[in-house]
Structure formats: structure tokens, C-alpha cells
Amino acid sequence: MSAWQVHALKYAQRNSRTRADSFIFDDNHDAPHAMDYFIWVLRRGKEVILVDTGYDTDEATSRDRPILRDPRDALAGVGLKAEDITQLIVTHLHYDHAGGLHLFPNATIHLQEAEMAYATGPCMCHDTLKMPFTADHVCEAVKRVYQGRCVFYDGDGEVAEGVTVHCLGGHSRGLQAVRVRTEAGWLCLASDASHYYENMFENKPFPIVVDLENMLDGFVRLHKLASDRSLIIPGHDPLVTTLFPREGPDYCWRLDRGPDGKFTL
Ligand SMILES: [Zn+2]
Ligand SMILES: [Zn+2]
């Protein structure tokens, strides 16, 4: 079978952060550390799979975290309509990954059992663990279950030929990475299994974590899922936008051919 194309679409950024927000135990904790927000599009001929939804302007307002563009507009720029999205992998249910579920009414969602159990279970009684979730987004996922449009996975699973999901946990109980066969080899969308290259390459945990051991094991697993370390794509690292070639609109980067030039990280 032929290879998949993978594009990263940037929909938001947050610059008023420090390294303490990105790494536990960082010596340089006061230094600024920006974060980018992406959704990812997998394409092969007429097949389209969306990975994560981003969030909309209502969520942006309630969290005071503005977005650069509505996820639907981001998709329109690459020739896709939200209504036409029928397959949607949700890496986890945090607001910035599942906050646009309602924008994709025709999508079947692909989710780990552990993530649904976590987001609807007793852990959500703790404010610290609940913080990255929004009840409406979780309810939207529950509705998909009742509509018969949720495919659950327990660990590893195949979404389509050449596209598999792998539960790594750590940052969220049922966080799944997405492995995609591309022209350059097996590419792995880490999502928040590693927000930045530095998390996984330097074994530096991210502060939002439910199971630290799973997070550290996840860093190791990511290296096994991708054909090369240059093909592990962190979930929020602005470096992705400088390492990979831009294609189409100014917020879109092509990932499936690997980074431009030599990868030295
Ligand atoms: Zn997250
Ligand atoms: Zn995230």
C-alpha cells in the first residue's frame, strides 16, 4: 500500500510561559519557553484521518488562551471541510486536543478506553488532575459513544492500514501516540507523550503528569515506534515549524518526508 502524507496545522501559540511550565526540575526555570498548538492531517488519496481537534473561540475565551484560527478554518485552508471528516483520532481528551469535537459532527472518534475511564472517573475529583479537561468536551466524547461512533482501543490498535495507535499514558491516563507509514519511514505523532523534543530526548518529564513512570517509559517507546528519531513529532514544540518544510498556507508544515536538512537534535 502507498504511504500516507502527514501535515501539521498550527492553530495557536502561547508565549507567556517559562521552562518551569515545560520541565520538572529545570535549572533554567525562569527562562521563556513558548508553546505551539497543532492539529494533524493524514492523507492517502481520498482517505483522510484527522488527529485531534484543537479548540474553538469559546474555549479560548474561557481559558484566556486565544487561538490564531478556528480549527475548521485551518482545515479549509488545506481543502478540507469539517463536515467531511469521518475519522478522527483523539490522542487524549485535554481541552487543546478534544476541544473541537463538536465541530466535527460526522466523525467517528478513535480513543483509548483508559482515557475515557480517566476523564469520567474519580481522578476528576482532584482539581489538579481535572485542570486540562473541560466537562463539555468529555460529554461530547460520551455522546459519540451513545451514537455508535466511538472506536475504543486497549493499548495498541490499527485505525487504518499503515496507521496505528499506541497507549503510552503518563501525561494523561489513556494518551495514545499515532504511528503512520510514510515515504520517509514510520513516523510517530507523539502528541503530548512528549510536548517538546527536549522532554523525550533529554528524559525531562513535563509537569502535567498522572503517572511519571509511564511518561518516562513512553519516551523510550516513542523511539521504538518511529524509524528514526527525526520522525518522532512532539506535540507542542515550535521547533517543528523550523525543522520541517512549510507547504500550502503559512500555518501548515509537511512532516512525512522528514525534516529539511540534517537533523542534529
Ligand atoms: Zn495534554
Ligand atoms: Zn496538549
**61 belongs to a structural domain:** yes
How far apart (Å, rounded) are the C-alpha atoms in residues 249 and 179?
25
For the chain, state the CA radius of gyration: 17
**141 belongs to a structural domain:** yes
Cβ-in-10-Å burial (0-12, 13-18, 19+) of 239 comes to middle
Nearest ligand atom owner, CA of 175: 1
Cβ-in-10-Å burial (0-12, 13-18, 19+) of 219 comes to buried
**260 belongs to a structural domain:** no
Q: What are the distances in angstroms from CA 167 to CA 113, 120, 229?
A: 10, 18, 19
**264 belongs to a structural domain:** no
CB of 86 within 8 A of CB of 47? no
CB of 89 within 8 A of CB of 128? no
pLDDT of residue 94: 98
**239 belongs to a structural domain:** yes
Each of the 265 residues of the chain gets a pLDDT tens digit; together they read: 799 999 999 999 999 999 999 999 898 999 999 999 999 999 999 999 999 999 999 999 999 999 999 999 999 999 999 999 999 999 999 999 999 999 999 999 999 999 999 999 999 999 999 999 999 999 999 999 999 999 999 999 999 999 999 999 999 999 999 999 999 999 999 999 999 999 999 999 999 999 999 999 999 999 999 999 999 999 999 999 999 999 999 999 999 999 998 999 9
Q: How far is the CA of 27 from the centre of ligand 2 (A)?
A: 23
pLDDT of residue 98: 98
pLDDT of residue 1: 74
Q: How far is the CA of 54 from the centre of ligand 2 (A)?
A: 9
Q: How far is the CA of 208 from the centre of ligand 1 (A)?
A: 8
CATH code for position 12 = 3.60.15.10
How many CA within 13 A on the CB side of residue 24? 12
Residue linked to cell 466511538: 150
Q: Domain containing 25: what range?
A: 5-254
Q: How far is the CA of 63 from the centre of ligand 2 (A)?
A: 14
**259 belongs to a structural domain:** no
Q: How far is the CA of 92 from the centre of ligand 2 (A)?
A: 9
Nearest ligand atom owner, CA of 169: 1
**218 belongs to a structural domain:** yes
Nearest ligand atom owner, CA of 132: 1
Q: How far is the CA of 226 from the centre of ligand 1 (A)?
A: 21
Q: How far is the CA of 129 from the centre of ligand 1 (A)?
A: 11
Q: How far is the CA of 237 from the centre of ligand 2 (A)?
A: 10
Which residues make beta-bridge pairs with 7? 41, 254
How far apart (Å, rounded) are the C-alpha atoms in residues 92 and 216?
18
Q: How far is the CA of 97 from the centre of ligand 1 (A)?
A: 7
Q: How far is the CA of 208 from the centre of ligand 2 (A)?
A: 10
Q: How far is the CA of 192 from the centre of ligand 1 (A)?
A: 5
Backbone angles phi, psi at 201, to 5 degrees: -80, -25
The total number of structural domains that make up the chain = 1
Which residues make beta-bridge pairs with 6? 42
Nearest ligand atom owner, CA of 210: 1
Q: How far is the CA of 2 from the centre of ligand 1 (A)?
A: 31
Q: What are the distances in angstroms from CA 241 to CA 8, 233, 264?
A: 9, 11, 15
Nearest ligand atom owner, CA of 52: 2
How far apart (Å, rounded) are the C-alpha atoms in residues 167 and 153?
8
Q: How far is the CA of 1 from the centre of ligand 2 (A)?
A: 31
Q: How far is the CA of 96 from the centre of ligand 2 (A)?
A: 5
**229 belongs to a structural domain:** yes
Sequence letter at residue 85: I
